[in-house]
Amino acid sequence: MEEDFTIQPYGPHPHHTGIAVPIFALRSKNSSGIGQFSDLKLLADFAHKSDMDVLQLLPINDTITFMDWRDSYPYRAISVFALHPIYLDIHAFLDDYTKLQQTALLEEEEQLNALQQIDYERVLAFKWKYAKLIYDKQATKLKATADYQNFYNKRKDWLLPYACFSYLRDKNKSAEFSSWGTYANYTEDIFEKLSQDKKVADILDLHIFVQYLLHTQLKEAVDYCHSLGVAIKGDIAIGIAHDSVDAWVNPDLFNLDMQAGAPPDVFAVNGQNWGFPTYNWEEMAKDDYAWWKHRMTAMSEYFDAYRLDHILGFFRIWEMPAGSVRGLLGQFSPAIAMSAEEIENNYGIPFRQWSPERFTKPFIKDWVIDEVLGRDNRDYIIQRFLDYVGGGNYQFKPDFDTQRKVEAAGLEDWMRDGLYTLHENVIFVKDRKNEYLYHPRITLMTNTSFREFGNEYKERIERLYNDYFYGRNYDFWKERAYEKLPAIKHATNMLACGEDLGMVPNNVPDVMYRLEILRLIIERMPSDDSFVNGLQYAPYLSVVTTSSHDTSNIRAWWQEDRAVTQRYYNEIMGWYGEAPWEATPEIVQEIIKRHLNSDAMIVALPIQDWLGMSPDLRFADPHQEQINIPAEAFHYWRYRLHLNLEDLNNNTGFTNFLSQFVQDSKRSV
């Protein structure tokens, strides 16, 4: 990376414009059914012609865990250092293949590129097939170069464990390293032991070699972007895969018996369970967060800026026990839990008098079963899943006493989800470190256990709930953030941006401002009770966007709620009369124009929304352009741009339109 290429606040060009698009979504004539690192050069050409100077990506690390389409999820990395092999440009080595291999490659590429969406499993198998051919042809020559040796020596602290992990995962057909017998626990001599077998040594060498190819292709693309004055903004995921190289090598840095996620929000009413282990911050602090610093330094080779995914996790993380499937039984960690004495003395709730079990065990009675699962199903539910414990109360049988056990039973969706709801029918969850301390269950006022209390006690519980979630921990969390974020931010010169959506404590914006970490502002997702985020109030230290990979694009959002659309059309856009049923190109242009004229340092819009301004280039069905659906635990991330980048670059009418559109705003570069 060019040492003098930076993107910083209050620089020579204070306002920047960008395109947000995952690499996997890119489409070019020489791609192999998925976007690849080399496609960034074509995207940079398009951005440059359109007077834009930032390309915003999703995570690019290796995610191969399940060895199927579920690995399309880019936020579950098996290594925070290794790049994903699926982004390798195998077409670039066309001359190295035999005529027969060339013909087969071109035929397969033609079929894969004709698909509207990504066939993840087929593409990955195809890439590996040709990666092995490249290795056979090129490895001996390239490994002798100084460039390869520098790459290897500088990174072997993670390359060797990564190669071992990848080999053992494939050999055992599982990334669950606890099941690997002799190799369940990582030791520094594992690479040497495995390498004693020549065939295994070659496989290990292949994984390292592919990482070198990925590095060189990405570095070449980044350097090309810089030559055009285009910056790369990466994405640093909050979590890692439970079964990952990092957890295998450094288990003490993670709480492997816990799961990270998010409390309920507009994306997921039952909360989100990402399945990641949570960080053992106390252990990480002992060496001043060396693992994080190493991670950031590695990514700074490619990125000029980064989006710190779920920055709230550096204040506190939503943490669930291993037995949870959904997010409602979580608790913030760290957090100041409540004692029985505090619950009783400060809020007048007879916690011990009525027994802690009344508040912490699932509240299950006949009428609750009827309401959740249906009266006609009550007898069957009791017989199969519950034991009677007296007083009209039931508890789960041992075989079903966690949500994970229910999940494993292979039940119909309605029954499984109903049993999950019964598990969640509690008022408090026990603190994970001290079973005699308690946290109110998130959104507890919506469950049937809460409804059983009289109005007086409902008011007391609700007061406790509001005190706990809206103020009690704010200063405590602020202190925790100031312990971690400065060390991580100052590890590199990259511009730091944070994804601060969700249940945001009111002091988070202040911390981010003081540390010069840019906030994320999506107009339709206000941070308070306002109808929308007022773009005219967007602070300079922010990234403003119309949509994200977790939301619908402008055109699909326009059709989601007619009342919201009408109000937005009249009040926010200031246009009169009845709102059209479709977001016409003129409407999309007006919305984007208002974003570009905000004072935010960066406006980075999804490529779907940029194309939505054109009547000729927009995709026919905007609802098919959403990249992720957060409420789905296993969503297939397979969105792909419907246009080739070469065709976009050659469409001078559109690039000229975009260039003029940007120049007419305060963002002209």
Q: Taking Cα atoms as reference points, which of 553, 560, 559 lies closest to residue 522? A: 553
Helical pair 455-467 and 340-347, crossing angle rounded to 10 deg: 120
Q: Taking Cα atoms as reference points, which of 532, 525, 615, 537 lies closest to residue 570? A: 532
DSSP 3-state assignment of 60?
coil
Q: Return d(Cα 267, Cα 178) in angstroms, integer.
A: 33
pLDDT at site 3 = 52
170 burial via Cβ count (<10 Å: 0-12, 13-18, 19+):
middle
Q: Return d(Cα 75, Cα 122) in angstroms, integer.
A: 21
pLDDT at site 12 = 86
**Mean pLDDT across 636-643:** 97
Q: Return d(Cα 123, Cα 130) in angstroms, integer.
A: 11
User: Quick check: 526 pLDDT over 70?
Assistant: yes
133-144 residue pLDDT tens: 999 999 999 999
Q: Taking Cα atoms as reference points, which of 201, 202, 209, 195 lies closest to residue 143? A: 209
220-247 residue pLDDT tens: 999 999 999 999 999 999 999 999 999 9
DSSP 548-596: -TTS--HHHHTTT-HHHHHHIIIIIS---SPPPSS--HHHHHHHHHHHH
**Mean pLDDT across 349-360:** 96
pLDDT at site 150 = 97
pLDDT at site 147 = 97
pLDDT at site 443 = 96
The number of residues making up the chain comes to 669
Q: How many CA atoms lie within 13 A of 591 on its CB side?
A: 29
Q: Return d(Cα 378, Cα 618) in angstroms, integer.
A: 51
User: Quick check: 307 pLDDT over 90?
Assistant: yes
Q: Taking Cα atoms as reference points, which of 329, 411, 353, 345 lies closest to residue 377? A: 411
Mention every residue, 6+ apart, whose C-beta is less than 8 A from residue 68. Answer: 120, 121
462-486 residue pLDDT tens: 999 999 999 999 999 999 999 999 9
Q: What is the set of domains in the chain, with CATH numbers?
A: 16-58+67-249 (3.20.20.80), 337-472 (no CATH)
pLDDT at site 2 = 46
255-277 residue pLDDT tens: 999 999 989 887 788 998 999 99
- Among the residues of 314-454, which ranges form H helices? 340-347, 356-360, 366-373, 378-385, 403-408, 413-423, 448-451
Are the C-beta atoms of residues 225 and 302 closer than 8 Å to each other?
A: no
386 forms beta bridges with: 396
Q: Return d(Cα 262, Cα 312) in angstroms, integer.
A: 10
Band (pLDDT 50/70/90 cuts) for residue 1 is: very low
Are the C-beta atoms of residues 85 and 77 closer than 8 Å to each other?
A: no
pTM of the predicted protein model: 0.93
Helical pair 413-423 and 378-385, crossing angle rounded to 10 deg: 70
Mean pLDDT of the chain: 96
**Mean pLDDT across 496-520:** 93
**Mean pLDDT across 518-543:** 94
**Mean pLDDT across 5-20:** 91
Q: Return d(Cα 490, Cα 57) in angstroms, integer.
A: 22
Total Cβ atoms within 10 A of residue 139: 18
pLDDT at site 218 = 98
107-143 residue pLDDT tens: 999 999 999 999 999 999 999 999 999 999 999 999 9
**Mean pLDDT across 299-326:** 96
pLDDT at site 502 = 82
pLDDT at site 5 = 76
- Among the residues of 254-352, which ranges form H helices? 281-285, 290-299, 340-347
